[in-house]
Amino acid sequence: MQLKDARIVLTGASGGLGEALARQLAGAGAALLLTARDAARLAAIPLPGGSEVQRLAVDLTQPAGVAALAGAAHAFRANVLINNAGIGGFGLLEAQDRATVDAILATNLAAPMHLTQALLPLLREQPAAAIVNIGSSFGSIPFAGFAAYSAAKAGLRAFSQALRRELADAPVRVLHVAPRAIDTPLNPPAVVALNSALGSACDSPDTVAAQIVAMLQHGPDERHIGFPEGLFAWLNGAAPRLLDRGLAGKLAIIKRHASAPADAR
Ligand SMILES: NC(=O)c1ccc[n+]([C@@H]2O[C@H](COP(=O)([O-])OP(=O)(O)OC[C@H]3O[C@@H](n4cnc5c(N)ncnc54)[C@H](OP(=O)(O)O)[C@@H]3O)[C@@H](O)[C@H]2O)c1
């Protein structure tokens, strides 16, 4: 896809990865409709001049927020939807309350599905269109301490694959990308400390954004970012017991960081 012809709805535009995506996409000449809940942060995103940019503050966990964004996307004549908005969710499942689990599933899984549904009639009318779902390596390598988040991201991966198969006869590509850890505010201090204790690599938002922009331009439509995460994702599908055993050795470290004071999580 030529980015100068792209009219992109980008959710989570005020976050670490979202802001990097907005900057790179605007720099490549795409028109942008940027969204997040916090209007002030959204308005403050610095972007290169020259591109058409609109901003709309909505909460995507609310039906009214999805409807408002869908209406704006139709008026904007969008041909690309990037489902990037998300929240983290570090903690042992037993220690998380129902509202936390519901928010993780609503933001990371249900919201992208509802928004995709609302925009599909518009996307189908375009000569070339794309839906980009930002998943996570935890969607293929479900991790202790991230049960609800892993479930949401595994759901988003399955949703992306099913939809790609459903739209095989339509001019709408469905992309799914699974980044490993990214250096953004999504990760509270306890997760940063956990990643460091486990020796997990962490990419910059700009590095990840550049790979997503390249996927939109040239493919592929499905991608894990990082080695060995891509290999472990494959291994988890082929021989999950091997990963059960490998990850059991890390459980004590994960539990220690999951019991960090609440303001570090
Ligand atoms: N950081 C990582 O380690 C990592 C790794 C793999 C995948 N990812 C994925 O990458 C994506 C971007 O994450 P990030 O790291 O850039 O996180 P981030 O810096 O925390 O940004 C999250 C964005 O989502 C928006 N958002 C959150 N809840 C929302 C809601 N209910 N309605 C509308 N917008 C909402 C936030 O803005 P408001 O708060 O103003 O709404 C913000 O713009 C997420 O899907 C995340 O799961 C992140």
Spatial contact of 224 and 230, defined as CB atoms under 8 Å apart: yes
> Is 3.40.50.720 the CATH number for 3-264?
yes
Q: What is the mean pLDDT of the chain?
A: 97
Cis peptide before 185 (omega within 30 of 0): no
**Residue to mutate (ligand 1; options 41, 90, 184; most atoms within 8 A of CB):** 184
Q: Rounded CA gap, 52 and 69, in Å?
A: 17
Q: Which two tokens stand for residue 160?
A: 């992306």
105: left (phi over 0), alpha (psi -120 to 50) or beta: alpha
173: left (phi over 0), alpha (psi -120 to 50) or beta: beta
Spatial contact of 120 and 172, defined as CB atoms under 8 Å apart: yes
34 has which bridge partners? 10, 55
Residue nearest to atom 46 of ligand 1 (CA): 86
% residues pLDDT > 70 (the chain)? 100
182 has which bridge partners? 203
Model confidence at 264, pLDDT cuts 50, 70, 90, reads confident
Ligand 1 atom closest to Cα of residue 36: 34
Residue nearest to atom 41 of ligand 1 (CA): 37
Ligand 1 atom closest to Cα of residue 18: 16
Q: Rounded CA gap, 216 and 174, in Å?
A: 10
95: left (phi over 0), alpha (psi -120 to 50) or beta: alpha
DSSP string covering 148-190: HHHHHHHHHHHHHHHHHHHTTTSSEEEEEEE---BSSTTS-HH
Q: Which two tokens stand for residue 154?
A: 């595994």
Q: For the segment 166-223, what is each residue's pLDDT rounded down to a tens digit?
A: 999 999 999 999 999 999 999 999 999 999 999 999 999 999 999 999 999 999 999 9
Mean per-residue pLDDT, 94-119: 98
Residue labelled with tokens 């505010």: 185
Q: For the segment 12-29, what is each residue's pLDDT rounded down to a tens digit?
A: 999 999 999 999 999 999
- Residues carrying an active site annotation: 149
Spatial contact of 143 and 150, defined as CB atoms under 8 Å apart: yes
Q: For the segment 31-42, what is each residue's pLDDT rounded down to a tens digit?
A: 999 999 999 999
**Residue to mutate (ligand 1; options 34, 87, 104, 208; most atoms within 8 A of CB):** 87
Ligand 1 binding residues, C-beta < 6 A: 11-18, 36-38, 41, 59-61, 84-87, 107-108, 134, 136, 179, 181-182, 184-187
- The helix/strand/coil state of 78 is coil
- Residue 262, pLDDT score: 82
Model confidence at 133, pLDDT cuts 50, 70, 90, reads very high
Q: For the segment 156-169, what is each residue's pLDDT rounded down to a tens digit?
A: 999 999 999 999 99
Query: Could you tell me whether strands 31-36 and 53-57 are parallel, antiparallel, or unpaired per DSSP bridges?
Result: parallel
